[in-house]
Structure formats: structure tokens, C-alpha cells
Amino acid sequence: MRARLRAVVAAPLAPELCELLTTREPRIDLIVDQTLLPPMRHPADFSGDPSFRRTPAQQSAYEQLVDSADALYGIPDVDPSALARTIRMNPSLRWVHTMAAGGGGQVKAAALSEEELDRVVFTTSAGVHGDALAEFAVFGVFAGAKHLPRLVKQQQDRVWSGRWLMSQVSEQTVLVLGLGGIGSSVAQKLSAVGATVIGTSRSGASVPGVSRTVRPDDVASVLSEVDAVVTTLPGTDATHHFVDRRFLAALRPGATLVNVGRGTVVDEAALLDALESGVIGFAALDVFEVEPLPDESPLWGHPRVLVSPHTAALDAREDRRIAELFADNATRFLDGAALRNVVDTVEYY
């Protein structure tokens, strides 16, 4: 247990949310200098305005602050190399909270030593974005079932075609890859409209709304039953191209694919082939293997692909939810209790 926590704000944070932190947990000694932080262009813009530059004196002052912290609210400048520098210069640092739900990737990129990983605990903002991403996922499943691309194209061309059959989500089977905070919310929302939901879980544990749970190694056993797939998986070595050619080929023809997890989970070359063959009827993608999506990517112009620029999680309340999560974890840290959303520093999720 600790008496006080010196927490330095290393990422943009509105003054009212700074006040929220110390109100929720009065034992926080919050250190923040707004002149050293880039202005935000929109909610959850933790990198801030790219034109922002510190003078050499400001950079020195910023580094002195983060080097004095017991805990950091945010990775300095959202830069893994700056994180590594800070940890090596500040032996008192014990906890870093990352703004991203998938902050484990940033921790991995810092290439920290075993001693450094043992000394500092890292937490993420996982769960903060769950409902927003789940709504996008449900939207994607419905867009596929109701042939959104065809409707948009016919409207643009002013074509009143003959009628055609649409699918009912209430009669579909949807596979949700990953039953963490986002996947659990997806499962509940889809089951509420009548869909049959199958989920994957490494532990085999289920959540409300899921009719059946399979382990990732056994996912091939259910693919032939699936009308739509929603992936909420993090980007790790184990999940890299989990949705590959073999996976896609085993789905029912015309299946919908929605990705709100990490772009590296889906083999985009295999996805494009599956779209051309008709195995995938529609794909709603909020994340991509390379971001921003390169101009030359065929996904941009594909008539049955919806490209969302990694914006599905953005919500006006996101900054406040992250601050509330940090305050709760600060109480846990001070009381010697287990923190929420601790990064697994083996698989980095």
C-alpha cells in the first residue's frame, strides 16, 4: 500500500478531467502542464495536433516531469521509444496507463528488458470502447444482411430494380472471435435481435448471449454454420492472419465479415480473393493491416467493402471513461489491489 501517488499526465487531458481524477481519488498528486501537451483536435486525440512542437526548453521540462512520476497517464507522446527512454531514466516509475485498448502493442514496440517489464505494470483502456465498437459491428452485420452496397449503388444510379430476397439477422448464425469486453457486448446485442451467436474463448468460458463457445484451435468445426463473422481480437503473434484463406473458404457463400479488433487479424490478400469469388459477400472494416490504408489498396474501391478509418470507437464520452478507469486503478494501486486491464507482457494484449 502507498500513501500517495505522483501521477504525471503525459497525454492530452482536459482540465475538467484532471479535476475528476483528484476528486475520484484524493490521494493522487496530479502533475500536469498543459503548455507541454499538444492540443486535441477531437475527443480521444491523444497524439494531438501534429503541428505541435516543443522548444528544447519545453522538451526538457516535459521529460523532467515524466521522469519524476510514480505513474504515467498515457505513453509519452504516444511513442514507444519515448516510453523506453522514460522507464530507463525513471527508476521510480511503477505504472503506465496506455490510452489505447490495444496498448500492449505499444509496450511491445518499446523493446523493454525483463527487469523493466517486471518493475513497471502497464494497463490499457480496454472496455472503454466496447459499446461503440459493438454498435458498429452490429451495423456491419445488418449492412451485409440487407445488401447495403447494392442499395447505395442503385440509389446513386437511380435504378429501380426488381425485388430481391434479403437475409434476416434474426435467422443468422454469427461467429464472434474473442469474448472480451467488445466481443461480449457484440454477443449481447446480436442475441437481443435474435441471432444465434457462437463465440471463441481461449479459456472456453462463455458470456451472456452466446449459445456455444469454442476454443480458437477448434474454430474450423463451426465455420460451415456461419453467416457472419465479427472479429474483436487483439493484434498478437497468435492472432496474426487468424482469418486466412482456409478460414474464409470454410464459410457459407456470401458471408459477412466485420473487423473491429486489429487489422493484422485478417489476411487482406485472402479477403480480396474471397470477395472476388463470392465467399465473402460484404466486409465492414474499421481496422487494417497498414494504417492509414494505402491509397493503392484495392479495398478502397471494392463495391462490397465498407472502409471506416479506425473511427468506430470514437465517442464523445471516451476521454471521461478513460479518466474514470485510471482513477479506479489508482485507488487499486494505492490499496495494493489488482489493477484492471493489465497488459500480458508475454503476448502483449
Catalytic center residues: 262, 310
- 169 φ, ψ (degrees, to nearest 5): -60, -30
SS3 string of 41-54? CCCCCCCCCCCCCC
* CA-CA-CA-CA torsion sign (283, 286, 290, 293): positive
Task: Provide the grid cell at 14.
Answer: 482536459
Query: What does the alpha-carbon distance between residue 269 and residue 333 come to, in Å, rounded to a whole number?
Result: 44
CB neighbours of residue 326 within 10 Å: 29
Task: Provide the grid cell at 32.
Answer: 500536469
Q: Is 127 helix (H, G, I), strand (E, B) or coil?
A: coil
CA angle 153, 293, 144 (to 5 degrees): 35
Query: What does the alpha-carbon distance between residue 110 and residue 86 come to, in Å, rounded to a whole number?
Result: 11
